Amino acid sequence: MQEAKKLCIASDHAGWQLKQVVIGYLSSLDIYPDDLGCYSEESVDYPEFGKKCGEAVASGKYDAGIAICGTGIGISIAANKVKGIRCALCTSPEMAEFAAKHNNANILALGGRTTSPELAIEILNTWMNTEFEGGRHKRRTDMLDAM
């Protein structure tokens, strides 16, 4: 994700606070992701927002997305149901590096209840600043996309 790309971001209620942190941080870098919801801590269903983020990226309107729920698990499962999405739940910068480098993850999932804001920013920076290596990994991501 090296150069500035068009991003979207979505969360459920449990990811809403971390989403605000991520949006604020990205804004400080002059990156303004489109917020696809939710818009408060009022209870909502994470599959709706994972699907919304996945469909937005798969449509080509966005180059990449960020999806956040309580643990990142549910919303990543939902996003990955959309054909063409490679959503990676990352809990460390190392995971984010390989998600970008080897899996060409087009959505980063984070856990709002399990990831501190500081760690989330480290993970986000790593994911955004790591290039896909292609090569043998391209063959594998093509296989994933064909499923």
Question: How would you label 79-90 residue by residue, b for 16+ Cβ within 10 Å and e otherwise?
Answer: bbebeebbbbbb
Question: How would you label 28-62 residue by residue, b for 16+ Cβ within 10 Å and e otherwise?
Answer: eeeeebeebbbeeeeebebbbbbbbbbbbbbeeeb
Distance from the Cα of residue 16 to its chain's centroid: 14
User: Distance between CA 81 and CA 70 in Å, rounded?
Assistant: 19
> 20: closest CA among 92, 68, 55, 61?
68
> What phi, psi does 146 have (nearest 5°)?
-80, -15
102 given a catalytic annotation: yes
90 given a catalytic annotation: no
Catalytic residue among 8, 53, 69, 87: 69
Q: Active-site residue numbers?
A: 69, 102
